[in-house]
Amino acid sequence: MSNEKQKTIPNYIKFTFGGSAGMAATLFVQPLDLVKNRMQLAATQQERATSFQVLRKIIVNEGVFALYTGLSAGLLRQATYTTTRLGVYSWLFETFSDENKAPNFLTKAALGMAAGMCGAFVGTPAEVSLIRMTADGRLPAAERRNYKNVFEALTRIIREEGLLTLWRGAIPTMGRAMVVNAAQLATYSQAKQILINTGFFHDGILLHFCASMISGLVTTAASMPVDIAKTRVQNMKTIDGKPEYKGALDVLVKVVKNEGPFALWKGFTPYYFRLGPHTVLTFIFLEQMNGAYNQLVLGKTGTGGSL
């Protein structure tokens, strides 16, 4: 029994698998992240458009390859944010699990929030770079930042605006991460248990896919208002020494006042079609890597992932 208990996936492997899964998923959904960010930054009536219209405008005006603008920042974000949050969550999940019993739903939510906060703080510099790079194409040519890649973005931000600018919007980013992870990680684990208990599902890709889609829908609805606040704070410019917004709460108040309450869910479709598939792909990749490690390295049979 003691030998079996010792045979678990090492923490550094959990962190590596978490980041690798997120980066692999980003390769598929980066265009949707671009569309979502553009829609969230559209504050005037003239700028507002559907997901398809925004997508078409990007392709016509900037070219097909522009859909992957900011990919380097997206990958670095996953390498930092997702590596940390999924690694911390996997470690906490295992720590708070009894030998034959997983944590209850509220505990999973709390673990997800803690993991999200850690990941968001580590990933905020890449997040700031990502928001700015994906937003650049909507600006007049004279106002564009024209970052070539995430490393140039980070270097120029430090040189031109100071080191602390890399953590601009860290509080709403961490708040969003708490909501996302509490919803995403907890509902994913809970959905897996409920689906297995129906008797129609067994541990495998179909189960992971269905649980991920349920998790993605709940997460999208819960996190969008915080996400739009984060996006606008991180992309705002300082004019005559005065920033556009005082903080996340100021963004939410102004959005509701000037654009209506439903504007807080602006970009819901690309957000879900980005978050849904990203959630699906991340968890599928992660479950497969965990399962392969358990079987090939630890010699466990009949075991899947660990979420």
> What residue segments make up the domains of the chain, in order of their start?
10-296
Burial class (CB in 10 A: 0-12, 13-18, 19+), 240: exposed
What percent of the chain has a predicted confidence (pLDDT) above 70? 93
pLDDT in tens, 81-95: 988 887 788 788 888
CA 99 → CA 9, 96, 142, 298, distances in Å? 15, 10, 61, 17
Q: Which residues contact 192 (CB under 8 A, 6 or more apart)?
A: 207, 208, 211, 307
Local confidence band at 307 (pLDDT 50, 70, 90 cut-offs): low
pLDDT number for residue 306 = 54
Does residue 40 have a pLDDT over 90?
Answer: no
Question: How high does pLDDT run on average in the chain?
Answer: 85
According to the model, what pLDDT value does residue 71 have? 96
- Is the pLDDT score of 46 beyond 70? no
CA 240 – CA 169 distance, rounded (Å) = 20
pLDDT of residue 14: 81
- Considering 119-123, 218-222, 292-296, the range whose residues carry the highest mean pLDDT is 119-123
Residue 122 has pLDDT above 90, yes or no: yes
Q: What is the mean pLDDT of residues 24-43?
A: 87
Is the separation of the CB atoms in 30 and 67 below 8 Å?
Answer: yes
Mean pLDDT confidence for 90-103: 81
Q: pLDDT tens digits for 235-284?
A: 887 777 788 888 889 999 999 998 899 888 888 888 887 777 787 788 78
Interstrand relation of 238-239 and 242-243 (parallel, antiparallel or unpaired):
antiparallel
Q: How confident is the model at residue 1 (pLDDT cuts 50, 70, 90)?
A: very low
Residues in CB range of 246: below 8 A, 6 or more apart: none
Q: Inform me whether the pLDDT recorded for 305 exceeds 60.
A: no
CATH class of the domain at 10-296: mainly alpha
Which one is predicted more confidently, 49 or 60? 60
Percent above pLDDT 90 for the chain: 29
